[in-house]
């Protein structure tokens, strides 16, 4: 079948009617890759990485966007709007372009990764770079939709959560049971909310016996849920989760509490260590925000959590290519310049450098 996306795959569990147009860019069904090295070093039974960077625009946002766009089209909307740290805007711009919706994205000026900005530009969205944080941009967007006929496609749109919950379905479908723990980065807190919803729905349908402990991780400079108060000037190298006042704050807390999980902090060094370990020990290049899930997992034994014998899934939310600047600055491998002849290459290789 052409164009097989997640609405087709999970239609019966989604708010889709005969009137909902068929929308897809081929999102979902992302690889669940077994860890080759990191899992053993931590003593877990099975560690898997869900490669959400393999979605069509390179992040998990496509799962929610496909649903939000289908419902916007069904309602006859002509325009969509979002605030974004980059990935939501890339997804909105892609689906907006495909279905000929005028797309307006508000991003914090100078603070989104280069690849994400390039995507929004290429897809032809109108991009407003706001002088403020993501939180300021989202506040502005929420006011704009009060007075304009334009569909809000941030995760406060319930259809976004509906689409994103399919990530949980895929994990259970593939493993045959829910994992013991799910590690996930937390920014605006839509994704942890969506996964928890998905795991619960699958359990009530009898597709799994259990649900996982939800282990969310925020960046140290942007950890409002852990601190228990909004962060006015969030700061972290993981720009995707540089968020000080998450829209789904209470729902994230509910996921944590109901699952007997935790939401904790990882600092930028831990994020970059995990980012490089994923690349160098697993061959997986994700963006820094995504590696917060693995940074958190690596910390769990220090926090007294026993990983022995556990099946754990880390959600790697976005592709590393989105943020080439961080790789260039933090991977610390210098180019070695050489003439293109065998002697020059051999001399360099033998020079003991």
- Please say which residue, 139 or 338, places its beta carbon nearer to ligand F0G: 139
Beta carbon of residue 326, minimum distance to ligand F0G (angstroms, whole number): 12
- Please say which residue, 186 or 300, places its beta carbon nearer to ligand F0G: 186
Burial 246-259 (b: 16+ CB within 10 A, else e): bbbbebbbebbeeb
Q: Strand pairing partners for 216?
A: 184, 263
Beta carbon of residue 108, minimum distance to ligand F0G (angstroms, whole number): 10
Beta carbon of residue 184, minimum distance to ligand F0G (angstroms, whole number): 8
Edge-to-edge order in the sheet of strand 102-108: 126-130, 102-108, 79-83, 151-152
Q: Which of 24, 84, 236, 291 binds ligand F0G (CB under 6 A)?
A: 84
| Cα–Cα distance for residue pair 315/205, rounded to 1 Å | 23
**Of the listed pieces 139-147, 256-264, 287-295, 340-348, which binds ligand F0G according to CB under 6 A?**
287-295
Cβ-based burial of 217 (10 A; exposed 0-12, middle 13-18, buried ≥19): buried
Please tell me whether residue 88 binds ligand F0G under the rule CB under 6 A.
yes
Q: Indicate the pairing of strand 213-219 with strand 32-34.
A: unpaired
Q: Which of 317, 320, 323, 326 binds ligand F0G (CB under 6 A)?
A: 317
| Cα–Cα distance for residue pair 20/67, rounded to 1 Å | 10
**Of the listed pieces 82-90, 224-232, 333-341, 343-351, which binds ligand F0G according to CB under 6 A?**
82-90
| Cα–Cα distance for residue pair 289/230, rounded to 1 Å | 19
Please tell me whether residue 287 binds ligand F0G under the rule CB under 6 A.
yes
Contact positions with ligand F0G (CB under 6 A) in 100-129:
none
Contact positions with ligand F0G (CB under 6 A) in 200-259:
240-241
DSSP H or E segment with residue 80: strand 79-83
Interface with ligand F0G (CB under 6 A), residue total 22
- Give the footprint of ligand F0G on this chain (CB under 6 A): 59, 61, 84-88, 155, 185-191, 240-241, 287, 289-290, 317-318
């Amino acid at each position: 079948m052409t164009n097989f996306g997640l609405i087709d795959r999970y239609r019966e569990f989604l708010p889709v009617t005969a009137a909902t147009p068929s929308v897809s860019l081929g999102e979902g069904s992302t690889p669940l890759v077994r860890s080759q090295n990191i899992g053993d070093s931590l003593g877990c039974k099975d560690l898997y990485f869900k490669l959400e960077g393999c979605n069509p625009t390179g992040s998990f946002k496509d799962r929610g966007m496909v649903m939000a766009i289908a419902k916007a089209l069904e309602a006859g909307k002509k325009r969509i709007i979002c605030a974004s740290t980059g990935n939501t805007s890339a997804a909105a711009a892609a689906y907006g372009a495909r279905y000929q919706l005028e797309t307006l994205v508000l991003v914090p000026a100078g603070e989104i990764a280069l690849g994400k900005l390039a995507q929004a530009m290429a897809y032809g969205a109108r991009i407003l770079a706001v002088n403020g944080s993501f939180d300021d941009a989202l506040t502005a967007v929420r006011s704009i939709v009060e007075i304009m006929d334009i569909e809000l496609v941030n995760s406060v749109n319930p259809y976004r959560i509906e689409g994103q919950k399919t990530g949980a379905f895929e994990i259970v479908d593939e493993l045959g049971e829910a994992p013991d723990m799910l590690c996930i980065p937390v920014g605006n807190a839509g994704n942890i909310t969506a996964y928890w919803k998905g795991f619960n729905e699958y359990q009530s349908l009898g597709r799994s016996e259990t649900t996982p402990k939800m282990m969310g991780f925020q960046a140290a400079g942007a950890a409002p849920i852990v601190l228990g108060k909004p962060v006015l000037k969030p700061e972290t190298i993981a720009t995707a989760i540089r968020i000080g006042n998450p829209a789904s704050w209470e729902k994230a807390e509910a996921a944590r509490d109901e699952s007997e999980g935790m939401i904790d902090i990882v600092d930028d060094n831990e994020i970059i260590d995990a980012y490089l370990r994923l690349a160098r020990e697993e061959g997986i290049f994700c963006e820094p925000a995504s590696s917060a899930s693995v940074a958190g997992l690596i910390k769990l034994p220090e926090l007294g959590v026993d990983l022995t014998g556990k099946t754990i899934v880390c959600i790697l939310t976005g592709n590393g290519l989105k943020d080439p600047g961080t790789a260039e600055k933090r991977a610390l491998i210098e180019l070695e310049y050489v003439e293109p002849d065998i002697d020059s290459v051999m001399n360099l290789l033998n020079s003991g450098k």
